[in-house]
Structure 1
Amino acid sequence: MKRGTLFLAAAPLALATPAYAGTTANVLSAPKVENEAKTAEPTQEAEAPAKKANEEVFSTGVAKGRDRLDSATSTSSLRASEIDKLGARSIAEILRDIPGIRAEAASGEGNANFTIRGLPLASTGAKFLQLQEDGLPVLEFGDISLSTADAFLRADLNLAAVETIRGGSASTFASNSPGGIVNFISKTGDVEGGAIQVSAGLDYDMRRVDFDYGAKIGDTLRFHVGGFWRDGEGPRATGFKTTQGGQIKLNVTKEFDGGYIRFYGKYLDDRSPVYDVTPLAVTGSNSDPEYGALPGFDPRKDTLFNRNFQTVTTLDGDNNVSNHENRNHAVVKSFGLEGKFEVAGFDITERFRFADISGHYMGVNYAQFVPAAFLAPAFGAPGGTIRYATGANAGQTIANPGALNGNGLAAMLLIGDTKLNSLDNVTNDIRASRVWNLGGNDLTTTVGLYSSHQTIDSDWAWSAVLSDINGGGNGNLLDVVTATNVKITQDGVLAYGIPGSDTLHRSYRMGYTTNAPFASVNLRLGQLAIGGSLRYDFGSAKGTLLGAELGDGRVGTAPKDMNGDGVISVPEMSVAVLPLTRPGVVDYDYSYLSYSVGVNWRIAEPLAVFARYSRGGRANADRLLFSPIVNGDGSLLFPEAAVDTVKQAEAGVKYRNGGLTLNVTGFWAKAEDTNIDSTNGDIIAREYKAMGAEFEGGYRAGIVSLTAGATYTDAEITLDYLNPAVVGNTPHHQAKLIFQATPQIVTDRFNVGATFIGTTSSYATDSNELKVPGFVTTNAFVQFRPVDRVTLAVNASNLFDVLAITAVDDATLPAGGVAKGHVLNGRTISASVRFDF
C-alpha cells in the first residue's frame, strides 16, 4: 500500500529452494553415443568441482555450485543435445520447454514476452526474468521498449546448456531478476572435437550452416570457436528474403594451479522478420470465442510485411529523411574475461564483459481492421475510392473493394520503426567464497560486488500505412483518393507519425548505472543446510529525451517533403518531428534491498525437502519515461515508482534415484508493477499476488525416456491505483496451467520422439471479458546415425499446424469479426546432416 495516496493523486495526470528439475542431465538423459559426447556437459567441466556419481552441479544464480539435492533452489537445465530436438526456431521457443516460464514466442526471432510463476506480464519483454549469457546479463533490463534481450541472443553449436533458476536466490545473486534467471552457457573446449551441420527447410525457405570446434593448444591452454550463417524467407511467407545473417563466438582458456582465466568474444549480425500483430477471424462470444483464418490470409503462415512493403520512410534522430528495411537487425560486438583464482584460502571469481549492441526494430505494433469498402470514408474521403499503392497494379482503382482478396478487408497499420543507436552495456561481477570449518561443519561464505552501465540510445519514428489483407507475401499498400481526385495518402502512407497526433516520435539518450554489493552464508549441519543472502542495489538514471509528449510548447509536427518530389502531399503537411533544441532531462537515483533465506534437508541420498523466502526488486528503466511520473527537472514525481518489489515463498520435495526424478514445489508471490500497457499506452500502477505449484520429473528405462513438467498458477490483481475496476481480476496472459512433456526412444543408431507444449486459456485483457483459448503444440524429431560421427535428422515444429494464439489485443469480441492476434508459427519442417570430428 506504499503508493496508494501518491498514485491516486497522479490519476488525473495519467489521462502505469523448491524442486530441482533434472530434465536433461544424468538420470533423464538417454545413453550417449559417440557423436553426442562433445555436447554432453552442461557446465565447464574443467572448472567444476569434483562430482560424485549421479550428482548434478548447478551454478547459475547461486553463491557456489552444488548438487541440486543439496541446494534450496528450484532449477532446471537443458543440454545442447536435447535443445537440438526441440524444433525451436528462436530463444523464446526454447524457453517454452522450461517449467514455470510462460514464453510468448509469436513475434519471431526476438522481442518475445516472458514471465514466470504468475508474475505479471503487463506489457512486453521480460520484466522479472533475466536472460544471461555465460553468467552476465545480455541487457540489464529485460523489458526495454522494442529492445528485449532475446533479440540479441542466438542458439547454435556454441551452446553447451541452458540453466534456469526460478525465484530463490535469483533475487540476491543478480540485479533486476527477482523472478528468475535463464543462463545460456557456452562450450569452452574442455571436450575436444568439432562439428559441421547443414540444415534446410523442407516446407519453408531456410538454409543454414553451423560449425564449432574446440581443442587443446597445450597442456594448460584450450580454445573453442563456433558460429552459424543462414538466409531465406523464414517460417512465414513474405515474398522476399527476410532472414539473413549469423554469428561467430570464440573463447580461449588458460588453466593454472587453483583456477583459470578465459577470454572470449562474440560478433552477431543478423536480420530477421517481426511478425507481431496479425488478423484473426473470430465469432462466438467473449467467453467462448472461435478464432480462425481469414479467406486468403493464414495467421500461422502469413504476415503483414510482404514483397510489396519492404521499406519504410521516416525521419531519423536529426529530422533527416531516412529509409529503413522492414526487418529486425541485431548487431552485437562483445568481449570479456572470466577467471577463478585462489587467494589466501578464498576462491575469487571474476566476470567482465563489454557489449557494443545496436540494430533496428521494425514491427506492426497496432492495427485497425476495417472493411475495404469503408476505408475511404473512414479515413477522410467520403465518396472517394481506394487504389493499389504498390505492386504490379500500383495506381489502379479497386472497383469492388467488398471482394478484395476474398475477404474484403483493409487495415491501418502502425509501424513501430525504431533505430537502436546504442544498447551498449558493460558489466562486472566479482565474488569471493570460502568454506570454513565450524565445529566440524562446513560454513560457506561469499561476498561480492556487481557493477553495470546500460545505455539506451534509440530513435522512434513511427508511421501509419494502409494495407490490404493478403497472404503468400502478395499484400499491397493502399491509397485513399477523394471524390475530387485528391490523394490523402502518399504511396500507402497515411501519416508520417501517429494519425492526428504528434506522439511516439521520440529520442532516448539515457544511461543507467547499477551497483550492488552482496553476501551470503550457508551452514551445513550434517544433512541439514541453512543459508541466507543479502544484496543492496543502488543506481542512477541520467540522460535526455526528445519528443512532443514532453509539452512546454515543443514542436510536434511540421511540413516535410518526404519523397523529395518537390510537392507537399497531404501526409507531408504534418510530419512528426523532434524538437532538437529543447530536450527534456532525466536525473534520479534509486536503491533497494533484496534478501533470501532457505533451508534444505537431505533426508536420504535420493530425497530432499526445502523451503525458502525471498524479497527482490526490479528497477524500472525506460518504461517510466514520457509519462507524468517524471518531473520537468528529471526527478521522479513519486520516487517509489523507480523500483518494484517481489516477495516470494516456496517449499518442495525433490527425489532422484536411478532412472526416476520427481520434483514438486509450491510457491506464493506478491509483486508490484509500474509499467506502460503495450496495447493502449496507459500507465499501470498495481499490485498482484500468485500462488501455485510446479511439477517436474522424468523417467528412463532402457531406450525409453520421458521428461515432463507442469505449472499451476492462481494469480490475481489485488490493487490498482488508477483503475480499481480490475481489482480481483486475473492478469491478462495468465493461464491456470502450462505444461510440457517429451517422450523419446534413443538407441545407438537413432532417436525418435516428440515434445508437447501446452497452455490452458487466459484472458485477452485485465477486464477479463474476451478469452484467449488454450492450445497444445507438438514438435517431433527423428535422428539417424548411419555411421559413426554422421547424423541425419528431420525436425518438425508445430507438427499438426495448430492455431496457437498467445495473445489478443481486443478487450471484447470485435464487432467486425476480426481480432488483433499474436500467433505462433504454423508447421515448419527442416532436415539436417551433421558431421562430427
Structure 2
Amino acid sequence: MKEAFKFQFIFRVMRISLCQFLLVGLWALGTAKATDGQAQALLSKKVTVDIQEQGIENVLGNLEKQVNGKFVYSAKMIGSDRKVSVKAAQKPLYKVLDETLKPLGLHYRVTDNLIIISRSDKSAGGPATSIRSREAGYTVSGKITDVSGETLSGVTVILSHNNLGVVTDINGTYSFSDIPDGTYTLNVTSIGFTAIKKEIQVAGQDVQLNIEMKDDILQLQEIVVTGGNPKKKIESSVAITTINNKDIQTRAPLNSTDLLKAIPGLTVESTGGDGPGNVWVRGFPQQGGYIFLGIMEDGLPVLPTGFNSIPSVDQYYKTDLTIKNIEAVRGGNASIVMANTPGAVINNLSYTGADKTYGKFKATTGLSQGLYRLDGNVGGKVSDQIRYNIGGFFRTDKGIVPPGYTANQGGQLKGNMTFNFKNQKGFVRVYGKYLNDKVQWMLTSFYPYDGTGKPTKTDNFDMVTQSLATVDTKFSYTDANGVTRNYDFADGIHTKQGAGGFQFNYLLDNGWEVNNNFRYQHTNRTVTAGIPASIITYNGSTPYYYLDGSEAGLKAGDRIVNVTGIGQQGKDVQIVDYLDFKKSISNHNVGFGVGIHQFNRNDGPNYNFSYQQEFKENPKRLLTSPTGAKITATNLATVIGDTRTLSAYASDEITLNPKWRLDLGARIDNQNVDGKRPFYAFKADGTPDYTKGAGLTIAGYTDYSETITNWAATAGLNYKINNEAALFARATRAYNAPTIADYNATAYDPAKIKKRPVYLGEVGVKYAKNDFSLFASASYSAIKNVSLSITVPTISSGNQVLVAFGSTRTYSAEFEASYKLTKALSLRWTGTLQDSKYTDYTANTNTNSAIMAILGDTTYSFTGKRTERVPVFNTELSATYDYKKFNIYLAGNYIGSRFTSPSDSYKLPAYVLMKGGAGYNFTKAINARFWVDNLLNARVLTEGDVRGDQFRNFAAVEKGTMMPGRTILPRSFWLSLSYEF
C-alpha cells in the first residue's frame, strides 16, 4: 500500500510539472515576438562610466557589470589594447556603445542577452581594406555545433586574413566573403568549449567548413563568482576547480564528502558512510573533520571552519539536484573569501530560476543495500520580474554494510525566489531550507593484525562486509538529579535544520554594486553511536547474559567487545550576514565588505557510556549478571558558548594590460568566544583542578570571554599568454584560529592558545586548446602552533583527550588535465603529490591525569615525522565515453601509503579504488543510469588504531592480535531513472 502511494505521488508531481511545462510553452508561443523588445530593453539600460585612456576591453568589462547582458567578442578582432576614454552619467547603453565603438570601426548586435561585437565592413584595417576590395575572392563559411550536434550561437570565429572576425548567428552559422586564394588560420572560441584552430586552403573556390566544438572539461573560459569579482578561470591567479551539474550526475557521489575527491589538493576519506567525513587540505595536520576547509552554500558559510567530527559540516548540507555547480577555491585566496579558512573554500551554488521552465526528477535504488531515493528540482519564471527554483530529496537506506536497522533516512527541501527590479539594476532573492536527515556513522571495527595494514578476516567476522553495530539499540540513563534520558543507536547522527535568508543586489547610479547576503539557521542534532574501544578473549568461566536475562552461551575463546557509547545532544543558532561593495574604476576592480558570523552553541549533556557486546555481525549487548546494569555512564561533557566573528575584507584586481592582472586581497577577523568551561574537581586550596579527567559530575564551570584578532593578506599575479594559456603566482599569509572546542577543553591552558599563522606560496599554469586542457600548480605551505588532540581509550574513564600543539610544512604539486581522445572518448586526470612533515610537535601526558595514570608522566616527540593519514601521492584517472544514446564512465583512484599516526609507527599500504557507470538516453527527457562503486571490491584500511597507536611499539605486537580499524565500503550497485524537461 505504501509503495503504491509513493508511485501515485511521484506520478502526480510529474503530471503537474508536465502541465506546467505545457502552459509555459503555450505562453512562450504567444510571446515569441518579444525578442526585439528584450534587446531594446537591454540597450536602453542606463549606465555610468568614467574611464580615461584604458583598453577597450576594460570599458566593455565595466559596462557588462552594469547590465544583465554579456559582451561577446574576440580581443584580437576588436584590438583590445586600443586606448579609449569614455565618460557618461546615466546614459542609455546604446548611446555609449555607439559613441565608443563606431570610431573604432566596430558594430554590435543583440541576441537574447548577448551583445555581439564585430568589425564593420570598413574596418578591416588601413591598406588591407583596399587590397581586399579589389581582389577577386571567395566565401569561407560553415556551421558550429557541439558534440551532440546542437548548433551554437555567439561563437567567435577569427580568420587570419586581415584578422577578420564574426560571431555565429542563432543557427550557428558564420561566413567571410571576398577571401583571396591562400592559406589561412581559423580560430574558434566560445565560453565552455576548448578553443579550436584550423588551417584552411582557399584555392579557386568557396570553402565550406563545419566545426564541432568540444566541452572544456576544466572550464578555463568559464566565469567564476567565488572569491572576488567574477572572472574567467584563465584570467585568475587562483587555483580553482569547478564541478558542474553534469559532472555531479556522472560521478554519482555516495555523499557530499565523496564528491570532493574530484578536487586536487584534497585527501578525502568518506568511509564513514553518510556519516562524518575527513578532508585533509595540502597536508595540514588534523585528526579528522574539516579543520582547514570551508563549506559555503550560495556564498555564505554553512558552519564556521575548524571543527572535527562533531559538529561535522557535511551533515549541515546535502548534494542533490538543486545544486547547479560547485566552485572550489584552493590555496591562498580562500583565506580572503571566508574566515579561518587557509586551505580551500567549496561553494555550492544553487539553481535560481530562468526564463524557461525546467525541471528534473530522479528515482534511485541501491541494489546492494535496499536504498530508495527520490530527487526533484524545478524552476522557471512567474512573471518577467520573478524567477523561482524549488527542489530536494527523500531517501531511506538500509546501509551498504547493514547495521540491522534502517541506517539512513530523511531528506531536505530547498527553494528560492528572485524578484528582479523593473529598472533591471538588481534583484532581491529570498530562500529557505528544511533539512531532516539521520545517518549511520560507520565507525571502527576489529581485524587480526598481521603487519600488512590490510583488513584480514577472523573465523566468524569480516569487518569489510559486516557491522558491529548492536541490534539492542535502545537504552536509558537516569542521572544523579533523577532525570531520565532515552537513547537509540538506530537514530545515529540526526540533524534537523531550518534556514532562511535573503540576498539584495543593486547597481547604484554611481557605478557601485551593493550586495547583501543574509541567513538565519537553527540546527538541532543528536549523536548516538557505539565506538568499539577494545576486545578481550572470553575465558569460559564467567557466564554472560543478554538483556532479557537469558544466558548468552559463550564458549571459551570467544571474543567480547568493550564499547564506548556516545549519547550527545546539541543545538546551534547561526546568523550570517555579508555586505559587499564592488566597482570598476579605470583598470581597477575594487571591492570591500564587512561581515558577521554569530555561532551560538549549546551541547549537552553529552554522555559517554560503556557496555559489552558479542563479536559478530549484528551483535547483542552482554551483561555479567541477569540483573546487571545494561549500560554504564563513564563521563559527562558540555560545550556552552557563543562565538562572534566580525570581519572586514578588501580586494583590488588591477588589469595592468591585456596580459597582466595583479590581484590583491586582505582580511581581518575579530573573534570573541564567551562560554562556560567545565571542570571536574577542586584542588586542596579550593581552586579548579583542570588536570582532572572528565567524570560523571561536573564540579563547576569557569566563565570565560576570549577575544582574538587575526588577519590574512594575499597577492597574486596572472599572465595571460593568450586565450589558451596563462601563468600565475600567489603568496599568502593566513591563519588558523582557535574554535570554541579549544577554549572549552577541560585541560585548557591559555599559554598554549598561540597565534597560528599559515604561510602559502604557489605558482601555476593553465592551458586549453583543441583537445587538451591543463591546470597545474606547485605550492609550499607551513602552519604554526595548530591545535591537535590525541584520543586515548581508558577502561575506567572512557575515551580521554590529550591536547597538544604542533607545526608542519608541506611541499605539494597539484594538477588536473583533460584530453579528448576521440569525438566520443574523453579522459580526465587529477592528482596531488605532497611531502608533509611536522617541524615541531610534542605531547605531554601530564595534562590529563587519567592518561598519565596509564602512560606515566611522559613527553612524546613527533618532530620530523610525516603528517598522519596523508599520502605522498593520490591521483584519479577517469574516462567518459559518449556514443549516440549511450554514456559510459570509468574512474580509478590511487591512494598512496599513509601512516596512521604522527609516530610513523604503523604504515597502511597504497590501494586503487575503481568506480564506473553506464547511462542510456531513451529520449532527450528520459535517462537510465547504472553504476558501481568499489568495482574491484578492494579490501583496504583507511584507519589503523588512531586511538592510542602513537604510543605503541608495533614491532612487539604479535601477529593475530585484534586491532581496531576502519575500511573503505565494499562493492555496491546502483540504478537510477530520471526525467528532465
Q: How does 1:653-668 map to 2 (within 5 A)?
A: 653-668=765-780
Amino acid at match of 2:649: F
Cα 1:329–1:765 shift into 2, 3 Å: same
Which structure: greater helix fraction?
A: 2
| Counterpart Cα distance in 1 of 2:474 and 2:900 | 31
Q: Work out whether residues 31 and 746 of structure 1, in 8 Å CA contact, stay in contact via their aligned partners in 2.
A: no
Q: Work out whether residues 555 and 578 of structure 1, in 8 Å CA contact, stay in contact via their aligned partners in 2.
A: no
CA deviations on 1:291-341 (whole Å, 9 max, x unpaired) are: 3233333323322224x2222424589872211221110111000112321
Q: Work out whether residues 97 and 757 of structure 1, in 8 Å CA contact, stay in contact via their aligned partners in 2.
A: no
The match for 1:274 is: 441
Q: Work out whether residues 719 and 727 of structure 2, in 8 Å CA contact, stay in contact via their aligned partners in 1.
A: yes
* 1:817 Cα deviation from its structure 2 partner: 2.1
* 1:33 Cα deviation from its structure 2 partner: 9.2
Cα 1:412–1:419 shift into 2, 3 Å: same
- Tell me which of 360, 363, 372 is aligned to 1:207: 372
| Counterpart Cα distance in 1 of 2:610 and 2:688 | 22
The match for 2:651 is: 520
Q: How does 1:57-136 map to 2 (within 5 A)?
A: 57-59=222-224, 61-121=226-286, 123-136=287-300
Quick check: 1:181 aligned with 2:299? no
Quick check: 1:303 aligned with 2:467? yes
| Counterpart Cα distance in 2 of 1:477 and 1:726 | 39
Quick check: 1:726 aligned with 2:862? yes
The match for 2:518 is: 352
For structure 1, the residue ranges without an aligned partner over 5 or more in a row are 1-28, 35-49, 375-382, 403-407, 498-502, 557-574
Q: Work out whether residues 363 and 416 of structure 1, in 8 Å CA contact, stay in contact via their aligned partners in 2.
A: yes
Q: Work out whether residues 639 and 741 of structure 2, in 8 Å CA contact, stay in contact via their aligned partners in 1.
A: no
| Counterpart Cα distance in 1 of 2:805 and 2:242 | 34
* 1:209 Cα deviation from its structure 2 partner: 1.0
CA deviations on 1:412-468 (whole Å, 9 max, x unpaired) are: 111222112x1221111111111111xxxx111111112111122112111011111
Cα 1:295–1:96 shift into 2, 3 Å: farther
Cα 1:78–1:92 shift into 2, 3 Å: same
Amino acid at match of 2:726: A
CA deviations on 1:209-263 (whole Å, 9 max, x unpaired) are: 1111101101121100001111131221112112111110010012231222211
Quick check: 1:763 aligned with 2:912? no
Q: State the superposition RMSD in angstroms.
A: 2.6
The match for 1:431 is: 580
Cα 1:97–1:511 shift into 2, 3 Å: same
Cα 1:829–1:118 shift into 2, 3 Å: same
Cα 1:32–1:678 shift into 2, 3 Å: farther
Q: Work out whether residues 453 and 941 of structure 2, in 8 Å CA contact, stay in contact via their aligned partners in 1.
A: no
Q: Work out whether residues 648 and 669 of structure 1, in 8 Å CA contact, stay in contact via their aligned partners in 2.
A: yes
Amino acid at match of 2:408: T
The match for 2:629 is: 490
Q: Work out whether residues 773 and 818 of structure 2, in 8 Å CA contact, stay in contact via their aligned partners in 1.
A: yes
CA deviations on 1:653-699 (whole Å, 9 max, x unpaired) are: 11011331112211100012123224562112111000021111111
| Counterpart Cα distance in 1 of 2:598 and 2:689 | 32
Amino acid at match of 2:810: A
The match for 2:31 is: none
Q: Which moved more, 1:152-161 or 1:141-150?
A: 141-150
Q: How does 1:388-537 map to 2 (within 5 A)?
A: 388-389=546-547, 395-402=550-557, 408-420=558-570, 422-437=571-586, 442-459=587-604, 460-471=606-617, 474-481=618-625, 489-491=628-630, 493=631, 495-497=632-634, 503=635, 505-526=636-657, 527-537=659-669
The match for 1:687 is: 807
- Tell me which of 788, 811, 821 is aligned to 1:675: 788
Amino acid at match of 1:231: T
Identity %, equivalent residues: 19
| Counterpart Cα distance in 2 of 1:219 and 1:298 | 60
CA deviations on 1:185-211 (whole Å, 9 max, x unpaired) are: 111122631122111111211111111
Cα 1:110–1:80 shift into 2, 3 Å: farther
| Counterpart Cα distance in 2 of 1:549 and 1:111 | 33
| Counterpart Cα distance in 1 of 2:565 and 2:223 | 43
The match for 2:834 is: 713
Q: Work out whether residues 100 and 166 of structure 1, in 8 Å CA contact, stay in contact via their aligned partners in 2.
A: yes
Q: Work out whether residues 522 and 572 of structure 2, in 8 Å CA contact, stay in contact via their aligned partners in 1.
A: yes
- Tell me which of 351, 361, 367 is aligned to 2:533: 367
Q: Work out whether residues 110 and 149 of structure 1, in 8 Å CA contact, stay in contact via their aligned partners in 2.
A: no
Cα 1:447–1:727 shift into 2, 3 Å: same
- Secondary structure of residue in 2 paired with 1:292: coil
- Secondary structure of residue in 2 paired with 1:96: helix
- Secondary structure of residue in 2 paired with 1:740: strand
Q: Which has the larger radius of gyration?
A: 2
* 1:156 Cα deviation from its structure 2 partner: 1.2
Amino acid at match of 1:159: I
Q: Work out whether residues 628 and 637 of structure 1, in 8 Å CA contact, stay in contact via their aligned partners in 2.
A: no
- Secondary structure of residue in 2 paired with 1:589: strand
The match for 2:51 is: none
| Counterpart Cα distance in 1 of 2:757 and 2:253 | 33
CA deviations on 1:249-294 (whole Å, 9 max, x unpaired) are: 010012231222211000000111111212123213xxx4443233
Q: Work out whether residues 673 and 740 of structure 2, in 8 Å CA contact, stay in contact via their aligned partners in 1.
A: no
The match for 2:969 is: 825
Q: Work out whether residues 531 and 598 of structure 1, in 8 Å CA contact, stay in contact via their aligned partners in 2.
A: yes
Q: Which moved more, 1:664-673 or 1:234-243?
A: 234-243
The match for 1:697 is: 817
For structure 2, the residue ranges without an aligned partner over 5 or more in a row are 1-144, 151-189, 195-219, 793-799, 844-858
* 1:597 Cα deviation from its structure 2 partner: 0.6
The match for 1:258 is: 425
- Secondary structure of residue in 2 paired with 1:236: coil
Cα 1:725–1:507 shift into 2, 3 Å: closer
Normalising by structure 1, what TM-score? 0.83
- Secondary structure of residue in 2 paired with 1:150: helix
Amino acid at match of 1:681: V
Amino acid at match of 1:490: A
Q: Work out whether residues 454 and 940 of structure 2, in 8 Å CA contact, stay in contact via their aligned partners in 1.
A: no
| Counterpart Cα distance in 1 of 2:479 and 2:239 | 46
The match for 2:934 is: 798
Q: Work out whether residues 142 and 148 of structure 1, in 8 Å CA contact, stay in contact via their aligned partners in 2.
A: no
Cα 1:72–1:113 shift into 2, 3 Å: same
Amino acid at match of 2:227: V
Cα 1:318–1:96 shift into 2, 3 Å: farther
Quick check: 1:163 aligned with 2:313? no
The match for 1:539 is: 671
* 1:354 Cα deviation from its structure 2 partner: 0.8
Q: How does 1:27-66 map to 2 (within 5 A)?
A: 31=147, 56-59=221-224, 61-66=226-231
Q: Work out whether residues 747 and 803 of structure 2, in 8 Å CA contact, stay in contact via their aligned partners in 1.
A: no
Normalising by structure 2, what TM-score? 0.71
- Secondary structure of residue in 2 paired with 1:669: strand
- Secondary structure of residue in 2 paired with 1:623: helix
How many residues were matched structurally? 729
- Secondary structure of residue in 1 paired with 2:247: helix
| Counterpart Cα distance in 1 of 2:272 and 2:192 | 43
Amino acid at match of 1:693: A
Where relative contact order (Cα < 8 A, 6+ residues apart) is larger, the structure is 1
The match for 1:569 is: none
* 1:749 Cα deviation from its structure 2 partner: 0.9
